[in-house]
């Protein structure tokens, strides 16, 4: 007999895995589902992913529910018994809880034959890097799933436990990590005129980003850039710098607008570096599309929740989710569910997913499943 979903959550929390290296976590999940008698499992999908397939008595639609496997590179200071045993790695986004919610759904479906269709519980690697969903979709094993509907959730600290936040259309923003590499010419700090420093180009880029952010803020949109890292030259008083590396994150609620922002940035970078006689290169990382909620899937979520527990969000969330790769291909939706008003923020070192959220969240997924596949 399997352990409870809450006990599984604490075990996963104590043994976190980084993005792309989640095999041990997947093994824990496989053991849990084997204990329930669920043996139709797709192993190593998308690298280290796991999919549990629960078939109904007749053919029908396939509903895919997704949770994330990976943890974060954050040291955990908490002292509770299930604190992370791995230095510098911990579950500070609640993915351990998301996995436990799907584990609870699997437990409830044990001995509860679906009248039709299939439920696929997908445990996806590498959400934090934006690579896992595409790895799943590009894996030939995904052909065994072929979902008709896809759903996911994310816990929301600061929102009352169990309250749901959702909206049709854009649920969370697109984002993209940008690396800007500048190369001039180093020289002696006493003779800077003999070199080509990237400092002027950096200053102009920062001014351009600030001006663009102010413009978009005036428009009321969610289109902006955040500078996350900047390094120029070496730690020396005797060398005038000849190189620089800037990292920034672009965000937008629309994928088309994101493409426009990228083109604008590339054009401005080329112009500035040409005028400053600096070589430049631009590369991208952590690419997340906007997560777009299908109107029909949104209505199925709304039907599964008491009206007094649902807030229809006025604006998309600023953070990004690679679940958008699924909703761009299949009808589906994502919703947020409150983790408690006093819970520390996501990615805070003291954050811990509340076990009291497992059952209410599983209730919602079960309502969606039963409304489609029934008993």
Can you list the alpha helix ranges (DSSP code H) found in 66-198? 95-108, 132-137
Q: Report percent pLDDT > 90 for the chain.
A: 94
Structural domains in the chain plus CATH codes: 5-168+291-372 (3.40.630.10), 174-287 (3.30.70.360)
Q: For residue 163, give the 3-state DSSP assignment.
A: coil
Q: Is 275 a residue whose pLDDT tops 70? A: yes
Whose CA is closest to 338, among 103, 68, 180, 156?
A: 156
Q: Which residue has the tokens 């690396």?
A: 179
pLDDT-based confidence at residue 2 (cuts at 50, 70, 90): confident
Q: For residue 72, give the 3-state DSSP assignment.
A: strand
Q: Is 216 a residue whose pLDDT tops 90? A: no
Q: What is the pTM of this model?
A: 0.92
Q: Is 200 a residue whose pLDDT tops 80? A: yes
Q: What mean pLDDT is predicted for residues 296-317?
A: 95
Reported as type and span, the H/E element at residue 66 is strand 62-68
Q: Which residue has the tokens 């044990």?
A: 110
Cα 146 to Cα 61, 110, 326, 357, distances in angstroms: 10, 22, 11, 29
Dihedral angle over CA of 289, 119, 121, 171, nearest 10: 30
**How many Å apart are CA 23 and CA 46, to the nearest integer?**
11
**How many Å apart are CA 280 and CA 276, to the nearest integer?**
11
Q: Which residue has the tokens 């072929």?
A: 146
């Amino acid at each position: 007999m399997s352990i409870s979903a809450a006990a599984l959550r604490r075990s996963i929390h104590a043994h976190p895995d980084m993005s792309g290296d989640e095999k041990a976590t997947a093994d824990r999940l496989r053991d849990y589902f084997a204990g329930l008698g669920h043996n139709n499992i797709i192993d190593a999908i998308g690298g280290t992913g796991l999919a549990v397939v629960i078939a109904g008595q007749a053919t029908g639609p396939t509903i895919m529910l997704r949770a994330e496997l990976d943890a974060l590179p954050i040291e955990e200071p908490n002292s509770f018994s299930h604190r992370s045993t791995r230095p510098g790695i911990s579950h500070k986004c609640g993915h351990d809880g998301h996995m436990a919610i799907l584990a609870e759904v699997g437990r409830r479906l044990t001995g509860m034959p679906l009248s039709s269709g299939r439920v696929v519980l997908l445990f996806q690697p590498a959400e934090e890097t934006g690579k896992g969903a595409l790895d799943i979709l590009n894996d030939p094993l995904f052909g065994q799933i072929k979902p008709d509907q896809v759903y996911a959730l994310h816990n929301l600290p600061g929102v009352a436990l169990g309250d749901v936040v959702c909206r049709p259309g854009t649920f969370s923003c697109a984002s993209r990590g940008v690396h800007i590499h500048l190369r001039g010419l180093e020289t002696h700090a006493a003779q800077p005129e003999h070199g080509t420093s990237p400092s002027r180009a950096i200053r102009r880029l920062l001014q351009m980003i600030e001006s663009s952010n102010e413009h978009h803020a005036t428009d009321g949109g969610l289109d902006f850039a955040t500078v996350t890292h900047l390094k120029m030259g070496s730690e020396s008083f005797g060398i005038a710098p000849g190189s620089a590396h800037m990292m920034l994150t672009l965000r937008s609620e629309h994928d088309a607008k994101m493409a426009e922002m990228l083109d604008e940035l590339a054009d401005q970078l080329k112009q500035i570096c040409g005028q400053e006689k600096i070589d430049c290169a631009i590369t991208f990382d952590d690419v997340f599309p906007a997560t777009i909620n299908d109107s029909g899937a949104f209505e199925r979520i709304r039907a599964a929740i008491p009206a007094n527990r649902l807030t229809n969000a006025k604006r998309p969330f600023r953070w990004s989710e690679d679940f958008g790769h699924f909703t761009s291909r299949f009808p589906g939706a994502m919703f947020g569910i409150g983790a408690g008003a006093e819970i520390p923020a996501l990615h805070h070192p003291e954050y811990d997913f509340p076990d009291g959220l497992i059952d209410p969240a599983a209730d919602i997924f079960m309502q969606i499943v039963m409304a489609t596949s029934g008993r």
